[in-house]
Structures are given as C-alpha cells and as structure tokens.
Amino acid sequence: MSLEHALESLSKNVLFSMSLGSKELFHSNFLGWLFETYPDQSRVLLQPFLEEGHGETHKVTREEGNVDLRVTYPKCKAVFIENKVKSMPDLMQLASYEERHGGNKDIVFLLLSLAPKPWSGSTYGRWQYLGYDALALSLPEVVSNMEKSDKCSFDIEVVRRYTKLIQDVLVVAEEAKLGQDSDDFFKDELRKELGRIYDLFYKLRASYLVNQIQEETRKLLLSVGLNPDQCFFSPYQKKGADKPDLKSVQSDFPQFYIESGFSHMHSVVTVYCKLPHQADVLGLQLQGGNLRLCILTPDGLNRKEREERARVIQDENIWFDFEPVHEILDKRDFTVRPEDRTKWGCFAPDFVYRSTDIIGSTSPTLPIGTVRSLILTYIKKMLDARTI
C-alpha cells in the first residue's frame, strides 16, 4: 500500500481520530480492554512471552505505578507493558522502571513500540521487545478467534478496524525508514501531507538514523582498538536517573550516549561523549536543519565560568570546529552563531553551545548519507580529542 492510500485510509478510520488525543493512552486502553474482555482470544498477542500453562487473564490495570499496562495471569507471571507509539523508547525510563519493580521475579518486562528495538541484543536488562509490526501480524488471529467464539459482532468490527489502523500506521513507519543514501533526510515536503501524524514520522526517521549512527560508531571504536561494549553509557550505571548523567561517570574509556527525540516541531539527534579523566562532556545536536556543537560543564558553575571553559576547549582545538560543515556539505556561506567567537549560547544549568544552519531556503534538502557522514565525522573528532 502506498503512503497516500494509507493516509487516506487513516483519515476515514474513526479509531484513528479517537487516538489523536493521546496516542499511547489510547492504544494502552484499547489493548487493556481486549485482554480483559477477550482473554482467551487475545492471548496470542502475548504468547511468545508467556510460559506454558498461562490461563485466563486474572487482572488488567492501566497507568498504575507508572506502568502503561499490566496484564496479570493466575498462578504465573505478570506482563508489564511499556507502550510507545508517538513517543520513542527511553532507555533511562526502562532502567528506572526495572529498578522499581525488578525485585519481583514474577514479572515479564515488555516494550511495545512502533520504533525499532533501541538496543542491540535480544534483551535490555530484563526488558523484551514487541514491535507493532509483530502485533499487527497477530491481530487477525484475534479477530478469527472472536468470530469462532461467536462473540459480539460490534466488538469484532472494532478490533478489525483497530487492526487496519495499525496496518496503515505501519505504512507511515515504513515510509519513515531511511532509503538510499542519496534520498533527502528531512523530507519537509511531506509535512503538510502527513497532517497530524507528521510528528510520528519525523521521530521515527530520527530513530532510524540513530540506529545507523550507533552501529557505525561501534565499528569506529573497534577500528581504534576499543571495545564498543565498554564505550556506550548504560542507564544501569546510574540507577534512578531520569536523564543521562555522563558527567559523573569515571571510566578509562570514552563513554557515548546517542539518542533521538523531537522538539519544537523538529526531529532531534543527540550525541554525547565523556572522555576519560575529563570533566566536560562533548556534545552534538542536530535539530531539524540546525547543528549545535556543545559541551556539558561541571555542576555549580555560573554562566561566566561555563563560557570560560568553552573558550578554552575551543582555543585548544578540542571542540567547536565547524570546518566539517564546509568540507562535507560544501557550504561556503554558512554562519556560525554567535558570530563573535568570544560569545556563547547557554541553556541552564550546564549546556554551552555554538550553532549553524546546515539547510536553508536555498538548499532545503540534504542526503541521508551526507547527514550520517557529518555526524560520524564529529564522532571521530570526539575520539581524537582524547589524545589532545
């Protein structure tokens, strides 16, 4: 099915309109209703994560103890479902939830997400992954089970329409995947066509790019004799944190944290690197077409002290070099802001940056391969800075 047909189908699906108010909550509530009302018919959705002998659903709770959906079976494990449709998976959040509930061994932790699996192995701590693509493959079997059980025809039609909703959203997700390196990364021409689902599209697109960047960074680390498993910051290193706390990490190896997000109507790709025995964290943010090079300074500094640390890092050629923008993008007319090299942009309490636009009205597109190459060039610079 084409993107155009999928968007037209979504516009005619009443469940899609109902879902727009709160996407995660809508899907959690719908699946909770399905598990609770039709436990036998819907069990196939969770079957890969259940032990043999799981019986009918005993209890379903929603939004209890920060758990999106909890499905409890008698005499067996409960399934804690963290549901991500509009939002992207947050490893810090997953680690925090596992810390809070992980003492109970009778729990299956399950990330249900439209985005790709955000970790490289089969599990992340005790978290397992279920994609909405796999869910969509099982939903027709739920409909068939309901029909065989002679259940309410209205409910059957609702589940059928929900299945179509997920299938159409998956077409949008497929379109968000990164194609040829020559394709435009930003695809701003789709913003109007996508309507109220545009934010999901651009979040997914950024998450696919981050997956590529993470994989290429692992290869880069191997090429310089470093073990990638020792060089990626894990939220499990700092229990209970709600954001990456790289500044407090003490390691003999570089520590990378790479994530995607969405802010002020644009996708965001962020790369942080904490070098061994260095107090400041080097950072990069690509928000829409704006590139920021930044540092995270130690806590407790005033603005003047933070700017002085940035000036020293710039003067020693450790960071804040925008020459790759000229070399890779062939942009001879780009402007770095603030234009005065002695001035800085600051976000309290620790974010100091300079920035430039890498796309504009005269060049509104940028190939995927070029965006990836630019980010990887700066990751190489981060690694090179450890020897300065």
Statement to judge: residues 204 and 153 lie in one domain: no
Does residue 64 have a pLDDT over 60?
yes
One domain, residues 221 and 364:
yes
**CA-CA distances (angstroms) from residue 329 to 186, 373, 383?**
15, 10, 22
Query: Is residue 240's pLDDT more than 50?
Result: no
Does 109 share its domain with 42?
A: yes
Dist. CA 19–CA 21, nearest whole Å: 6
Q: What is the DSSP string of 219-265?
A: HHHHHTT--GGGSB--GGGSTT-SS--GGG---SS-EEEEEEEEETT
**Taking the model in full, what pTM does it have?**
0.82
Only one residue has tokens 């159409």, namely 168
> Does one domain contain both 193 and 171?
no
Q: Is the same domain home to 255 and 165?
A: no
Domain-embedded: residue 183: no
Strand 78-84 relative to strand 107-113, pairing = parallel
* 181 occurs within a structural domain: no
Q: Which domain holds residue 280?
A: 188-387
Is 80 in the same domain as 7? yes
Q: Is residue 240, in this structure, part of any structural domain at all?
A: yes
Of 120, 146, 176, the last residue of a domain is 176
Considering the domain architecture, whether residues 315 and 167 belong to the same structural domain is answered as no
Q: Do 344 and 215 share a structural domain?
A: yes
User: Is residue 226, in this structure, part of any structural domain at all?
Assistant: yes
Rounded CA gap, 366 and 181, in Å? Answer: 10
pLDDT digits (tens, 9 = 90+) for 13-27: 656 655 555 667 888
Total count of domains within the chain: 2
Specify whether 172 is located in the same domain as 193.
no
Per-residue pLDDT reduced to its tens digit, 89-129: 888 788 888 888 767 777 889 999 988 888 877 888 899 99
Rounded CA-CA distance 49/375 in Å is 37
Name the pLDDT band for 76 (thresholds 50, 70, 90): low
Among 146, 176, 206, which residue terminates a domain? 176
Asked if 319 and 313 count as a contact pair (C-beta separation under 8 A), the reply is yes
In a shared domain, residues 203 and 351: yes
